[in-house]
Amino acid sequence: MLDALCRYNWPARAPSANPNRENYRRGIAEARKLLGLPGPQPAATLRFDPATPAVLQPGAWQCSAATLAWMLESIGRPTSVDQAVVALGPRIDPEVGLVDASGAGLVQTLAELGLRGGSLGTAGWDDAVARVGLMPVAIGGRGWYHWVGVRRATPGNGLELANPSPGWKGVGDMLSRDQWDQFGPFALVWIELTAEEEMAPVEELEKKVNGLVTALAHVCDIVIEPLAAKHVSREQRIEAVRQARQIREQFLGPRPTLPDRAA
């Protein structure tokens, strides 16, 4: 609910960057009280098991549903292919399989199941390698006409698969870089494992690092560089020291008192 309100109302940003986030939170809390609903439960970080057995597709058109079932199974949510088909609803069709080859329908289904997902309609090899092994990932090759889960990347420049139809077009439980190029372009879908609330410390750290970078640039460009000029007045030196101390105290705190080394 919070994610939807933040993304679909002005200024249409993710909750972590939306200035109206707390207003939406309070509104949701009040609505729950009025309706007599329990408060939201704290979201736990999900755990991904890449060794989860592949879920096999019973027919020619359910590869995406079987892959979705594997993704859910891998985070501890038992799901059959039939249940995945029901969850996908009109986004899957017996005539064509997954209706939208970009994988957007899988992400929408994950959201309806209470999970945060992401997708790239056209993904590069490096996009996949950066995520596999860390979270449930699915890939769909338009030239392959097939969806599979991905367990991890291998040292030999390959992807280890949870393939719902082993042997389809000569691919078993491993996809090489050459096969990626041959059967692409590929869409990429994944499940976020970290709860939104747990991302807040990371975002705060990023802000602090960005502030330190800006401060360092100021020290280098504004404070130190003028001191190298031939004619620098005493007032300019004092001002440079003042700015440097101000930046130090703002981002790192007061300078500690050094021990007296005099013997």
Condensed to tens digits (0 to 9), the pLDDT of residues 208-226 reads: 666 766 777 777 767 777 7
Condensed to tens digits (0 to 9), the pLDDT of residues 169-193 reads: 999 999 999 999 999 999 999 999 8
* Whole-angstrom distance, CA of residue 259 vs CA of residue 88: 68
Pinpoint the alpha helices (H) of 104-233. Answer: 104-112, 125-131, 177-183, 200-218
Rounded to 5°, angle at Cα 236 from 234 and 239: 110
Condensed to tens digits (0 to 9), the pLDDT of residues 106-119 reads: 999 999 998 999 99
Q: Tokens for 200, please give them.
A: 């807040």
246 confidence band (pLDDT: 50, 70, 90): confident
145 burial (CB, 10 Å; 0-12 / 13-18 / 19+) is middle
* Whole-angstrom distance, CA of residue 82 vs CA of residue 181: 32
Average pLDDT over the chain, rounded to whole? 83
Condensed to tens digits (0 to 9), the pLDDT of residues 67-100 reads: 999 999 999 999 999 999 999 999 999 999 999 9
- The single residue listed with the structure tokens 């995520």 is 131
- Mean pLDDT value of segment 149-176: 95
**Residue 258 pLDDT more than 60?**
no
**Residue 202 pLDDT more than 80?**
no
* Whole-angstrom distance, CA of residue 115 vs CA of residue 94: 25
Q: Let me know: does 13 contact 7? Beta carbons within 8 Å.
A: yes
Question: What pLDDT is attached to residue 155?
Answer: 87
* Whole-angstrom distance, CA of residue 144 vs CA of residue 147: 8
